[in-house]
Chain A
Amino acid sequence: MTRKRRRLYFVVLGLLAVGTAAALVLSALRQDIVFFFSPSEIVEAKVPTEGRRIRLGGLVEQGSVVKDGASVKFRVTDGAHVVPVVYAGLLPDLFREGQGVVTEGKLGKDGVFQAAEVLAKHDENYMPKEVADSLKKSGHWQDEKKVDKP
């Protein structure tokens, strides 16, 4: 075996080892790397919510937004479960019904999520307004029912 060949094997093995280590670490830390929990995980109590500040993410349910003075109520859904949210503060421009949202706050004893912060999450589709309108008109519009599953 020449020295070049030996160095090549050394580099390849080293990369494999580093890659495996990274994969193991990341999969072990999965629960801490996810940015938010879905309504299903919270309703089914798969994550500890008691007195902890957590993030809840999903779609703002159609027709659920109720403005009440300075505070706003809405429901976050992932298609399977729904969590009601109360929030007092400024909403981001992209906040609207049917759009993705990530809220940070605490889950109350009554099951209502007390949000301290609301962030809008937009999807990966980019198109001009005319295209969106014609898609909706022709019935090819795909409503984003799909929410990232952690």
Chain B
Amino acid sequence: MHRFANPARFLRLSALIQPWAAAIAVACLAGGLYFALFASPADYQQGETVRIMYIHVPSAWMGLFCYTAMAVFSAMALIWKHPLADLMARASAPVGAAFTFICLVTGALWGKPMWGTWWVWDARLTSMLILLFLYLGYMALADAFDDPERGQKAAAILALVGVVNVPIIKWSVDWWNTLHQPASVVKMGGPSIDSTMMVPLILMAVGFKAYWVLVLILRTRAEIAAAKVRTLRMAQIHAAGQVEQA
């Protein structure tokens, strides 16, 4: 793992991965949306509204996945001081926040026709809202200091403390009774979802993951470039100062 913490190696490797991630994201999302909207059956209870699931559930998974990734990167940055880990944690946050937001909005749109309410304060919904606030807090804290390194350190600690929320979200529907139904896919005894509905769900989930890889690469490259520009500027200012002195 430490081998990949080298920015030059990251740039080489990411240039190789980037087109593949883009291709997989486009192919899976196009195929997934076709299956989700046209080529999959309506649910026996919920009818056509079940199609919201193909956006809602992969978004929720992404919300949890990006946060976990962010926490792992933050731990690596705190413990081993990898310069790249900080950048990648920062790069993950907006993606995860966006997917969490999509999950909450589509959940409300789905809840109104099925449950009869946009929102309830049950354990699953509330813990998911807390996840969104953790993302927003992380991003705000990381930018709240003049010295980027101090902001990064404070934000990394926040990310690690907030990671306790991830298992709470996952098992909230098992630990407490909630209005939200229990897990359908990742659970004991195998998924309780028909294979014709599993296909679009998995395609969308893979597409979202590939999209995350792509955005992570783009954003990290941009951060590396920004860091280089900063160093060059500093050198320029330094040189100018020396000329004046001479």
Residue A119 is within 8 A (CB to CB) of chain B in the complex: yes
Contact A7 B114 (CB under 8 A): no
Provided the pairs A33-B123, A124-B181 are in contact, do residues A4 and B176 lie with their beta carbons within 8 angstroms? no
Determine the residue in chain B with the shortest Cβ distance to A7. Answer: B79
B193 and A126 contact, CB distance less than 8 A: yes
B193 touches A127 (CB 8 A): yes
**Is A79 among interface residues, defined by CB-CB distance under 8 A?**
no
B88-127: which have CB < 8 Å to A?
113-117, 120-123
A127 to B78 Cα, complex, angstroms: 46
Contact A128 B196 (CB under 8 A): yes
Size bracket of the B interface: 35 or more
Name the residue on B nearest A27 (C-beta): B175
- Kindly state the separation between the CA atoms of A4 and B80 in the bound complex, as whole angstroms: 6
* Neighbouring B residues of A33 by C-beta, 8 Å: 123, 176
Q: A91 vs B81: C-alpha distance in the bound complex, in angstroms? A: 57
B120 touches A35 (CB 8 A): yes
B6 CB contacts on chain A under 8 angstroms: none
The 8 Å CB contact of A120, one of B75, B115, B160, B187, is B115
Please judge, given known A-B contacts A57-B177, A124-B184, A127-B44, whether A14 and B114 are in contact too, CB under 8 Å: no
Q: What would 6 more interface pairs be, CB under 8 Å, given A35-B122, A129-B41?
A: A35-B178, A36-B177, A124-B183, A125-B193, A127-B43, A128-B197
- Interface set of A (CB-CB < 8 Å, partner B): 4, 7-8, 11, 14-15, 18-19, 22, 26, 30, 33-36, 38, 57, 90-95, 99, 102, 117-133, 148-150
B residues with CB within 8 A of A: 41-46, 50, 53, 75, 78-80, 113-117, 120-123, 160-161, 163-164, 168, 175-179, 181-184, 187, 192-194, 196-197
